[in-house]
Structure 1
Amino acid sequence: MLFLQYPPCSTCKRAKAWLDERGMSYTARDIKAENPSYEELRKWYQRSGLPLKRFFNTSGLIYKALGLKEKLPEMSEEEQLRLLATDGMLVKRPLLITERGIVPGFREAEWEKLL
């Protein structure tokens, strides 16, 4: 199981504690220091079955500064994935990647169902 996080993020800290409390084994990766590649993002997005917008950190400063709320609908999936691969701070976090599925963000019910 891969757990992508931004260590200073309070939601990521809560998600990590949630995993630890349940004794889950995972590999933690700093999403800012080691941004997911285009190939990883494409594979995760395709496996997830989720809308691509779920992979964007829509409350992030970079998302807002780039005006992505208005721009994303006009961009192709390819362009969106390439943009996500440019900066880990654009990616929704935490991001949990398991054999059974992928969940961007921390919603206990979704994580519970996945694990």
Structure 2
Amino acid sequence: MAEPILYGIKNCDTVKKARHWLDEQQVSYRFHDVRTDGLDSQMIERWITTAGWEKVLNKVGTTWRKLDPAVKEHVSADNVVDLLMKYPTMIKRPVLDQNGTITVGFRPDQYTLLFNL
């Protein structure tokens, strides 16, 4: 069984909560900072295939709010990967990859079920 990978940004409050929860539960995981460790389009495509692009795209964050309205209006499954590659902070965080199961966002009850705790 591969070690889970938690994707996010170090200073994101939700990512901090997820990391704290995993540490408290003594769940071993690897943290991948999407800003410093990078992203590739295949990674994002896998998340979208598994979770859906509407769930992976964070429409409540600052980056989305500052985005040109013309760009927002034309976001679709066809172009969202390029948008997320350009603006990784628009990825809803954290993204947890637990043996191919992709979980977007953090909810303690969801993680409890995922890790059978």
Normalising by structure 2, what TM-score?
0.82
Distance 1:105 1:81, change over 3 A: same
Shift of 1:28: 0.5
Q: Tell me how large the CA RMSD over aligned residues is.
A: 2.1
Cα distance in 1, alignment partners of residues 19 and 37 from structure 2: 18
Q: What is the distance in 2 between the residues matched to 1:101 and 1:10?
A: 23
Instruction: Give the greater-gyration-radius structure (CA).
Output: 2
- Equivalent residue runs for 1:32-111 within 5 Å: 32-46=35-49, 48=50, 50-67=51-68, 71=72, 74-111=74-111
Structure 2: unaligned runs, 5 residues or longer: none
Paired with 1:19 and 1:34, the residues of 2 have a C-alpha distance of: 20
Q: Deviations over 1:30-58 (max 9, x none)?
A: 12223421111101221x2x331111122
DSSP-derived class of the 1:110 partner? helix
The amino acid that maps onto 1:31 is: V
Gaps of 5+ in 1: none
- Alignment partner for residue 27 of structure 2, among 24, 27, 36? 24
Cα deviation for residue 100 of structure 1 reads 4.9
TM-score (norm 1): 0.83
**SS of residue paired to 2:59:** coil
Structure 1 runs of 4+ with >4 Å offset: none
For residues 78 and 39 of structure 1, the distance between their equivalents in structure 2, rounded to whole angstroms, comes to 14
- Does the CA-based 8 Å contact 1:5-1:94 persist in structure 2? yes
Q: Classify 1:43/1:51 alpha carbon distance in 2 versus 1 (closer, same or farther; 3 Å).
A: closer
Q: Percent identity?
A: 25
What is the number of equivalent residue pairs in this alignment?
112
